[in-house]
């Protein structure tokens, strides 16, 4: 019997489970939006220090876990046309840049208002959901948002390039071929560019994903060098976050140009570096936010780092592609 692939239709039981998970995610989102107005301090704490820190680790396990239930993706794909417009390869490159720029703008904005202002975060989330919904009306399936301008997509590609588990794509089966480049929902290792016309670091650096991966470790480090500040301090916040990103891009870019490693080696190392920096700071920050003891803070740092190490070792193996285990 043939093994199921990511494009194989789900069983009725699997489909019902995914639908239940998607409805639950929508209900949780509605509760979070209400909480951001009614109990902003507690909701912000749970959102930024309990929920969001789980997402990068879930991408290592498989980005499909989040992509399968993400409420923004639900808005994007809700009755989205299977025969609508698709983006040309050139337009996809431009869309990738839009997603990266959105990420580079929104993450530092956390320090200015999104970390502290519940209604502002709620309005931002609703605006993103609306953008995804409109994108779903204008383009085929996920071409108008989830596979083009979503600011989380570059992170999903970087951390999801060598998933630890195999997860079926629940949203668009059969595939409507909504994107003209490798789709992360169909082939995660190739979605980042490795072995997909960009076999070496030098080639990869000419792509949006390659440049993003080179800059991202510095960007995350820069974020954790800032504090929550007043809006008037925007220049200081963006300089502190984007400055290290530029340094990272220059240093890593020079290494990629000179050493010219294979993308299959460079991409996992840069992914592990970025997520490693993230959990080094984010684990203890979560423990502090909830007043947890120092031993818990150490656990919240080192347990995710152990997962990252396991992921990196596996990703660097020649056969480090995902295995169909289901």
Report, in Å, the least distance between residue 105 CB and ligand SF4.
25
User: Which CB, 82 or 254, lies closer to ligand SF4?
Assistant: 82
**How many residues of this chain bind ligand SF4 (CB under 6 A)?**
13
Instruction: Choose the binding region for ligand SF4 from 124-132, 175-183, 254-262, 291-299 (rule: CB under 6 A).
Output: 175-183
Q: Which stretch binds ligand SF4 (CB under 6 A): 93-101, 171-179, 200-208, 315-323?
A: 171-179
**Whole-number minimum distance, CB 93 to ligand SF4, in Å?**
16
Using the minimum distance from each CB to ligand SF4, give the nearer residue, 141 or 215.
141
Give me the 176-215 binding string for ligand SF4, x by CB under 6 A, dash otherwise.
xxxx---x-xx-----------------------------
CB of 180 to ligand SF4, least distance (A): 9
Considering beta carbons, is residue 186 or 285 the nearer one to ligand SF4?
186
Nearer to ligand SF4, 172 or 211 (CB): 172
Do 177 and 86 meet the contact criterion of CB atoms below 8 Å apart?
Answer: yes
The per-residue b/e assignment along 99-137, b for 16 or more CB within 10 angstroms, e otherwise, is bbebbbeebbbbbbbbbbbbebbbebbeebbebbbebbe
**Looking at 62, 74, 115, 169, which residue binds ligand SF4 (CB under 6 A)?**
169
Min CB(178)–ligand SF4 separation in Å: 3
Number of CB atoms found within 10 A of residue 67's CB: 26
CA distance linking residue 323 with residue 92, whole number of Å: 28
Q: How far is the CB of 6 from ligand SF4 (least distance, A)?
A: 7
The two three-digit tokens of residue 217, written as one number: 């470790």
Q: Shortest distance, CB of residue 146 to ligand SF4, whole angstroms?
A: 7
Q: Dihedral of the CA atoms 125, 128, 132, 133 (nearest 10)?
A: 70
* Residue 73 C-beta: closest distance to ligand SF4, Å: 9
Collapsing DSSP to helix, strand or coil, 226 comes out as: coil
Region 102-161 residues binding ligand SF4, contact defined as CB under 6 A? 141-142, 147
Under rule CB under 6 A, residue 76 binds ligand SF4:
no
Contact region for ligand SF4 (CB under 6 A) — 16-24, 118-126, 174-182, 250-258? 174-182
Least distance from C-beta 132 to ligand SF4, angstroms?
A: 13
Shortest distance in whole angstroms from residue 310 CB to ligand SF4: 28
Residues 6+ away with beta carbon under 8 Å from 154: 96, 99, 100, 103, 208, 209, 212, 216
Task: Establish whether the linkage from the previous residue to 174 is cis, with ω within 30° of 0.
Answer: yes
Q: Determine the Cα–Cα distance for residues 151 and 175; give it in Å rounded to an integer.
A: 23
- Distances, alpha carbon 82 to alpha carbons 129, 198, 227, in Å: 20, 29, 44
Quick one: DSSP state of residue 48? Answer: I
CB 248 within 8 A of CB 219: yes
In the bound state with ligand SF4, the residue whose beta carbon lies nearer, of 92 and 287, is 92
Which C-beta is closer to ligand SF4: that of 180 or that of 296? 180
- CA 255/CA 210 separation, integer angstroms: 13
First to last CA, the chain: 13
β strands within the chain, DSSP E: none
Q: Which residues bind ligand SF4 (CB under 6 A)?
A: 141-142, 147, 169, 172, 175-179, 183, 185-186
């Amino acid at each position: 019997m043939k093994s199921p692939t990511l494009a194989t239709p789900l069983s009725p039981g699997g489909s019902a489970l995914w639908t239940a998970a998607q409805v639950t995610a929508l209900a949780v989102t509605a509760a979070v939006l209400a909480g951001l107005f009614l109990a902003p301090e507690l909701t912000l704490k749970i959102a930024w220090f309990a929920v969001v820190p789980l997402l990068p680790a879930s991408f290592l396990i498989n980005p499909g876990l989040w992509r399968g239930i993400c409420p923004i993706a639900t808005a994007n794909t809700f009755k989205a046309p299977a025969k609508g417009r698709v983006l040309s390869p050139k337009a996809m490159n431009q869309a990738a840049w839009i997603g990266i720029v959105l990420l580079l703008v929104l993450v530092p904005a956390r320090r200015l208002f999104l970390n502290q202002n519940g209604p502002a975060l709620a309005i931002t989330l609703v605006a993103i959901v609306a953008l995804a919904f409109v994108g779903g009306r204008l383009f085929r399936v996920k071409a108008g948002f989830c596979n083009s301008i979503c600011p989380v997509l570059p992170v999903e590609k970087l951390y999801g390039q060598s998933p630890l588990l195999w997860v079926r794509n629940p949203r668009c089966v059969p595939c409507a071929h909504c994107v003209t480049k490798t789709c992360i929902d169909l082939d995660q290792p190739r979605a980042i560019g490795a072995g997909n016309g960009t076999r070496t670091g030098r080639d990869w650096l000419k792509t949006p994903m390659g440049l993003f991966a080179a800059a991202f470790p510095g960007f995350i480090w820069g974020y954790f060098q800032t504090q929550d500040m007043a809006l008037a301090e925007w220049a200081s916040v963006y300089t502190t976050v984007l400055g290290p990103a530029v340094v990272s891009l220059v240093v890593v870019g020079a290494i990629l140009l000179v050493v010219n490693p294979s993308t299959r080696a460079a991409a996992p190392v840069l992914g592990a570096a970025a997520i490693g920096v993230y959990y080094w700071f984010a684990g203890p920050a979560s423990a502090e936010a909830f007043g947890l003891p120092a031993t818990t803070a150490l656990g919240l740092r080192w347990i995710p780092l152990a997962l990252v190490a396991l992921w990196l070792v596996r990703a660097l193996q020649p056969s480090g592609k995902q295995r169909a285990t289901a």
